Every structure is written in C-alpha cells, then in structure tokens.
Amino acid sequence: MADSAPPPSSLDSYESVGLVPNPDGSVTRSIAFPSVAATDETAATDSAVAFSKDVPLNPANNTFLRLFRPRLLPPNTKIPVILYFHGGGFVLASVSALPFHETCNSMAAKVPALVLSLEYRLAPEHRLPAAYEDAVEAIMWVRSQAAAEIDGGEPWLRKYADFSECFLMGGSAGANIVFHAGVRALDADLGAMKIQGLILNQPYFGGVERTESELRLADDRIVPLPANDLLWALALPDGADRDHEYSNPLSGGSYQEKIGRLQNCLVIGYSGDPLIDRQRRVVKMMETRGVHVVAKFKDGGHHGIECYDPSHAEAMDDDVKDFIDCTLHNFDPKH
C-alpha cells in the first residue's frame, strides 16, 4: 500500500505518463516498455555482446540486481564495476524495460565493465527515500562481494570484478539516485570496494520556482511540466514540495557539508531537455564545493534521447568509457 493518497491532479497528467490513480494512494501502471528477460550463457544468441542474469538483493522488498558481463574478455581480466540505476521519475519502469536493459547490455560490452542494474522500489507505493535506501543496500552488497562474505561471492563478480574500480551511474531519476546514494556512501565502510566516480546522465532534479528551460519547454513531449510536477508529488515524502532536499540540492539539507567530498562526476545533458537549467545549476554548485565535474552539455536532443536514438546511445557509451578510462588513469576527461 502507498504511504498516502496521491495529491489532486488532473487525470490528463496521470494519463500522460501511463498511470491510473487508485483510491488507496497506489497507482496502476497502464503503459510499460517491452520487457526483456536476462540471458545468461545458456540462453544468449551467437550475436549477443553481453550476458545477463538476475541476482536477489532483498527478497522482502522484491529488489534484485540484473548483472551484465561482456561476452568476450581476455583470460584473467578484471574489469570495472558500474552500479546502474534506471530512470522513470521514481514511479515507472524496471531493469527489464527494453531501453534500460539494452543500455546496460551495450555498456558492459563497450567499456568493458560488469554492470549491475538495480530493481529498486517505486513510488508512490514506496516514496523517497526508499529508492536511495535500496541503492545504498546495493552498494553494501557489492562491498560484501568484495569481501567474499556471501558464500564465497557471486561467481561473475568473483571472476571478473575489480572492486577498486567501482562507479555509480544512472539516467534521469536514476542519476538523482546516484547523487543521493553517493552522498550517503561517503561515510560508509566500503572495505575493499572503492567508488571512483559518479555518472549522472540527464539528472532529474526539481524545485518550486520554474526555470527558463522548464517554461520554454513546458509542453515537452517527454517531460511536460504537469507530468513532471505529478511525478515529484508522487515520489517525495508526504507533504513535501519540490524544494525538498531530495528534489532540489540547492535548497539546503542534511547533506550539504558532504557534497565537496564527492568523487569525480560526469554530468550529461541536452539543451532540448526541460531539466537542463537545473542540471547546470547543480554542476555549478558541485564545482563551487570543489568537486571535479566533467560537464557534457550538448545542443538539441531531449530527455532520455539515448533510449530512442541509437547514435546518442553510442555517444553516451563513448562518454562513459572516456570518463572511466580517464578517471582510472588520472587523465582529465575535459581535455
């Protein structure tokens, strides 16, 4: 059951994101991306560039990790670990949704890396900070794997993972999760696991005061303003507005003094995204606090463009690979 009934909103707003409100405060998700099953070595086709499988995280919360590994790796090769969080406004989608499965599949092969995609709890049935808590639990699961505390360790991670080369990555709401989980993990004992960088692809941040890009693109076909407002209303704690610290990192909050300790960050954005102004503001705020940020703001495009355009998906893979390579070899990805 949801934490509380959703706020009043027009049915058009719900319908625009494929939701039907229920009397108990939950929602019925009436539109879904095509779903893709994990394909391990026994099920993959000859053309597969990566294998995948699902591993339980917390059965009580129905959370799990979908693991992706490259099909082709030289013997005795250890590769980075990317903990990935999908988008969907905290309310929609799944690791099995075709665009997110394909993103992780392609990235695992191209970087190359072990990609662990988290099936986290969705709002409004589980409002924030539930997704952040699931993300931190996933981080601690990787830590336990690095210490081989779970029955000797998950076989793919035991064989292929370089736990000293871990990255957190997400798109849209998943990038918001990266930011908040990254802050929460700063004081955690991660043992042999080391988070080297954060990758925020078109991060989903908000605020009460409208930005120029939100007003200019109020009728955007991907993130129209009424739908954006509705998703935040469904995701934030009961009674909170969009200046809550989960939505607006510039509004203050409990974690402000920690931001300057964040690892290197890659932030990707597009001028055709209504969220671009907020993304720029968060980048400026992090840089002011001393965080090394690689900002890749590009002309045109739209929110979630890599889910629709293969050329932009490939460009994102290139940006991620470059950032990881440069971070691990102490080069400046800005140059």
Give the residue carrying structure tokens 């739908």.
227
- What are the residue ranges of helices labelled H in the chain? 11-16, 98-110, 130-146, 155-160, 173-185, 212-216, 225-235, 276-288, 310-328
Instruction: Give the C-alpha separation, 160 to 182, whole Å.
Output: 23
Annotated active-site residue in 101, 180, 244, 303: 303
Instruction: Give the C-alpha separation, 184 to 128, whole Å.
Output: 14
Give yes or no: 273 in active site: yes
Cβ atoms within 10 A of the Cβ of 20, count? 13
Give yes or no: 303 in active site: yes
Any idea what DSSP says for residue 259?
G
What HEC string does 192-213 produce?
CCCEEEEEEECCCCCCCCCCHH
Annotated active-site residue in 52, 96, 172, 213: 172
- What are the residue ranges of helices labelled H in 79-163? 98-110, 130-146, 155-160
Tokens of 270: 């597009």
- C-alpha dist (Å) from residue 61 to 56, 57, 119, 134, 332: 10, 9, 10, 9, 40
Give yes or no: 172 in active site: yes
Annotated active-site residue in 273, 302, 312, 319: 273
77 Cβ partners below 8 Å, 6+ apart? 160
Q: Are 198 and 262 in contact (CB under 8 A)?
A: yes
Any idea what DSSP says for residue 251?
G
Catalytic residues: 172, 273, 303
